Structure 1
Amino acid sequence: MSRIIILASPGSGHGKTLVTAGLAKALGGGNRRIRVYKMGPDYLDPQFIEAATGLEVRQLDYWMLGEREIAAELCRAQNEVDDIIIEGVMGLFDGEHSVARLARDYRIPVCIVADASAMAQTFGALMYGLANYDPDVNVAAVIANKVGSDRHASLLAESVRPPLTMLGSIKRDKALAVHERHLGIGAEDRSAAQHAAAAMAEQLTEIAQSLPWGKLRIEEDSLTQPEVQHEGPRLQGMRIAVAKDAVFSFIYHANMDFLQREGATVHYFSPLSDTQLPDCDALYLPGGYPELHLETLANNHAMISAIRQHIEADKPCMAECGGMLYLLESLSHDERCAPLCGIFPLRAKVNERLAGLGYQSLPGTRLRGHSFHYASIVDEPSNADELPRSAYSDGRKGELILREKRTIASFVHWYFSSEPQKICDWLSGKPEL
């Protein structure tokens, strides 16, 4: 039976991602098998933890996965690993699909990670409020982060009221300084992440022994089955080329698992450095940051030609966010502009401010995903209002969906298992919405 715990915070920016990485590293020093999850659709925090620990990080998100898939994911984990660490998102009680909801649904103990750098006794009041706000959420312990001194640590510990347990304090340390991540994880970032996680693991050695672990027990026969059954893998024998490199890195592990469960073989390639596509039946261009390597992408004429040939040969292609930008006529960023694949005769630019953010769905289906992008299309077609779009979770019009032959592209990052048949249709060359 697996041990399980949630690391949550009063809000964003309290340092729980680095604590999660450090805890995983501290626990993984022996022979224990560790599984790390991140709540929410985010790619960057999981990338940081993966870079820091070498562990695979998966998402738990009520909107994208749904209750059945979350239960199935946790059920698989309990049969595969010893310890399950779940990093929360935003504040403990924030949002309809909050961390607190997961804690309630599976009776998972919560350990609060809180930045205590600018408070003393008020720390205890804040922790008391979190622990007593919802009696069905088991807030069992707290870790004070960014503590200035032993005296500061004592004041914080004295302020925490039973039955809440103060597990310990993490001292401020330059070795724990990690720049906020707006872009992908490069080689230097990986090295910094590894050093910071190692330093954090040292501070967490004793704390890790005192965590209020819960026990996860999900009976497999209690899992509800999908409403629609199908005969056999729907992508049997298909070869799917997946872009994966320093640009195209926004890939959910669960999506790759989905493709393989449906019978496809996945072949990774790099639009940055490769000059031809793998032998493939379909192409998947995930999200990422094409603006970081714009000239290199634009100058790889052989790859651009290979992708154009694939699409013009009427073979399926699915592109998301950065992958969609790669298929446009050009992309501009920081006064630089480079021509790209030109499948869609549209231009885009990367803005300083966020251009799109939120959960998305495909109207008329159960397909779900999310968008998060700074880029925008600068010359949308005159009939853009008539073209298909995704929908925000609150009902607003979402992202433009582009189609050309058997290619379908948008700013949305889709979660494949939310609507398996639709994804299989798209990758099989049926781009109908």
Structure 2
Amino acid sequence: MVATCAALLVAAPASGQGKTTVVAALARLLARRGLAVRVFKSGPDFLDPFWHELASGQPVDNLDGWMGGEADVRLRLHAAARQAQVLLVEGVMGLHDGSPSSADLARRCGLPVLAVVQAGAMAQTLGAVAHGLRHYREAELGPLPWAGVLANGVASEGHARLLREALAPGDTWLGALPRSEAMQLPERHLGLVAARELGRDAALARLDAAADALAETPLGRLSPQDWRARWQVDFALPVDAPPAPQPLLAGRTVAVARDAAFSFIYPANVQALKALGARLVFFSPLAGEALPACDALWLPGGYPELHAPALAARTDLAGQLREHANAGKPIWAEGGGLLALGEALVTRDGQAWPMWGLLPVRAQMQPRLSGLGMQTWEGARAGSGLRGHAFHFARLQTALVPLAQTRPAPGSVREQGEAIHAAPGWPAVRGSFFHPWFASDPVATVALFTEAREPGARP
């Protein structure tokens, strides 16, 4: 079975070139014109999808050939192509960075590449950059599907002319975006500020400013017919799609913290828990909501450091979590959830805030990145191991001996993985900076939300 629609993969020479802004602006522009647009984010990322969802009006999934596998990528693209007129995929880091890279994704799925290049400090060199992006490893891997080049941060019409003339004819000039504060998306230490933090009207104003600028480019002036003629892609249903998992969590209720402090939730992880049969109930610690009646609790990542006073004041919730743990019920806390479950959180200004105290760890926010990279949590149980990633600016002080240690993925710049901690006396209470992709190992995922184990055991 094949689904067909227009599609682009938006990539760049490196991070910080404006990919997210361009994808969100393009999604907003096409949605304003009445087109059904679906956006995907390549690689592990919780923040960019918030902007893409607001821009497109549709849910946004991550695509990752390592965490989820190629069959999962193809399955998601096929399903979206059955419903949408245009698919947009934001690449990760530079076009050829990582394994698999955004270029690998483009080749395997036939996605034409739109190269966004921050050209504010270059002129004719844009031609060399575009040539390299397009033809790198071509002799080894074959031609890269190509759409064209969009220059970002351009100073003037004269500057744009120099950039356009530098391109080889086949590299395809698709326009220039000017330097503009109005269309910049705000950032902080973990990446973009979530769109909802600005408020819907303020966030949409930025997206509309970017969409209006894009509308003046050759790319923005293309009609739906032009998109189909240039960039139509056939998305086949993968023959090796994994079978639906057994409903091993049927009859179990999993509570999930979800608000501005706990917002790093892959939609695919919610889908995976539901596919396993779990009933999910969401609650907001910041809103003062009590822990719902549940069999297990998931504390996702997010920004507890920005809401430390409010979380410290939830002594009532801390008591509810202790009752939950005393009943032998599991808690899985990842990233920011780990910080909230510890004894104290020291924010960047040096102030220590008491947290919920189930794990004997003290977290200290750092000025620089403390951990990142793709990881695997391998266990002795049947299954392939949970795959996922880490990205954090905090360090832990603890006397705990880790329950387990994740292993960096091949090619990782880090040589050490992340510790998995279990609470003394509560072996079903576990936390880590590791963010798992649940569908990568359903058996291990079920164990996270059902089983208590002695220290030293693995999922």
* Band of TM-score, shorter chain: over 0.9
1:249 to partner: Cα distance = 0.5
Structure 2 match to 1:347? 362
Determine if contact 1:331/1:338 at 8 Å carries over to the other structure.
yes
1:202 equivalent in alignment to 2:212 = yes
Letter paired with 2:187:
E
1:102 to partner: Cα distance = 0.5
Structure 2 match to 1:253? 267
1:111 to partner: Cα distance = 0.9
Query: Aligned partners of 2:58, 2:29: CA distance in 1, in Å?
Result: 13
Query: Aligned partners of 1:245, 1:405: CA distance in 2, in Å?
Result: 27
Determine if contact 1:147/1:172 at 8 Å carries over to the other structure.
yes
- Partner of 2:444, secondary structure, is helix
1:430 to partner: Cα distance = 4.8
Query: Aligned partners of 1:218, 1:171: CA distance in 2, in Å?
Result: 34
Query: Aligned partners of 1:427, 1:123: CA distance in 2, in Å?
Result: 51
Structure 1 residues without counterparts, runs of 5 or longer: none
1:31 to partner: Cα distance = 3.3
Query: Aligned partners of 2:197, 2:241: CA distance in 1, in Å?
Result: 42
Query: Aligned partners of 1:176, 1:65: CA distance in 2, in Å?
Result: 33
Counterpart among 421, 425, 428 of residue 450 in structure 2: 428
Structure 2 match to 1:142? 149
1:7 to partner: Cα distance = 0.6
Aligned counterparts, 1:82-121, within 5 A: 82-121=85-124
1:407 to partner: Cα distance = 1.9
1:399 equivalent in alignment to 2:418 = yes
User: CA offsets per residue over residues 354-381 of structure 1, 9 Å max, x none?
Assistant: 1111111012442100001111111333
1:219 to partner: Cα distance = 3.2
* Distance of aligned partners of 1:290 and 1:420 in 2 relative to their CA distance in 1, 3 Å threshold: same
Structure 1 match to 2:308? 294
Give every structure 1 segment of 4 or more consecutive aligned residues whose post-TM-superposition deviation is greater than 6 Å: none
1:39 to partner: Cα distance = 1.0
Structure 1 match to 2:331? 317
Query: Aligned partners of 2:371, 2:345: CA distance in 1, in Å?
Result: 17
Query: Aligned partners of 1:213, 1:265: CA distance in 2, in Å?
Result: 44
Structure 2 residues without counterparts, runs of 5 or longer: none
Structure 2 match to 1:173? 180
1:366 equivalent in alignment to 2:385 = yes
Letter paired with 2:394:
A
1:126 to partner: Cα distance = 1.6
- Partner of 1:41, secondary structure, is coil
Identity of aligned residues (%): 40
Letter paired with 1:377:
L
User: CA offsets per residue over residues 44-84 of structure 1, 9 Å max, x none?
Assistant: 22233334554322111122111121122112212222211
Query: Aligned partners of 2:110, 2:408: CA distance in 1, in Å?
Result: 30
* TM-score normalised by structure 2 residue count: 0.88
- Partner of 2:32, secondary structure, is coil
Letter paired with 1:388:
A
1:169 to partner: Cα distance = 1.2
1:331 to partner: Cα distance = 1.2
* Distance of aligned partners of 1:265 and 1:24 in 2 relative to their CA distance in 1, 3 Å threshold: same
Query: Aligned partners of 2:263, 2:291: CA distance in 1, in Å?
Result: 17
Query: Aligned partners of 2:443, 2:197: CA distance in 1, in Å?
Result: 37
Counterpart among 215, 219, 239 of residue 223 in structure 1: 239
Letter paired with 2:236:
E
1:160 equivalent in alignment to 2:155 = no
Structure 2 match to 1:388? 404
Determine if contact 1:358/1:371 at 8 Å carries over to the other structure.
yes
* Distance of aligned partners of 1:137 and 1:37 in 2 relative to their CA distance in 1, 3 Å threshold: same
**More deviation, 185-194/132-141:** 185-194
Determine if contact 1:363/1:390 at 8 Å carries over to the other structure.
yes
Query: Aligned partners of 2:92, 2:315: CA distance in 1, in Å?
Result: 41
Structure 2 match to 1:15? 18
* Distance of aligned partners of 1:172 and 1:229 in 2 relative to their CA distance in 1, 3 Å threshold: closer
1:60 equivalent in alignment to 2:50 = no
1:287 to partner: Cα distance = 0.4
**More deviation, 45-54/196-205:** 45-54
Query: Aligned partners of 1:245, 1:142: CA distance in 2, in Å?
Result: 38
1:378 equivalent in alignment to 2:397 = yes
The count of aligned residue pairs is 427
Letter paired with 1:216:
V
- Partner of 2:234, secondary structure, is coil
Query: Aligned partners of 1:43, 1:376: CA distance in 2, in Å?
Result: 20
Aligned counterparts, 1:408-423, within 5 A: 408-423=430-445
1:229 to partner: Cα distance = 7.3
Structure 2 match to 1:338? 353
- Partner of 2:368, secondary structure, is coil
- Partner of 1:65, secondary structure, is coil
Aligned Cα root-mean-square deviation (Å): 2.1
Structure 1 match to 2:317? 303
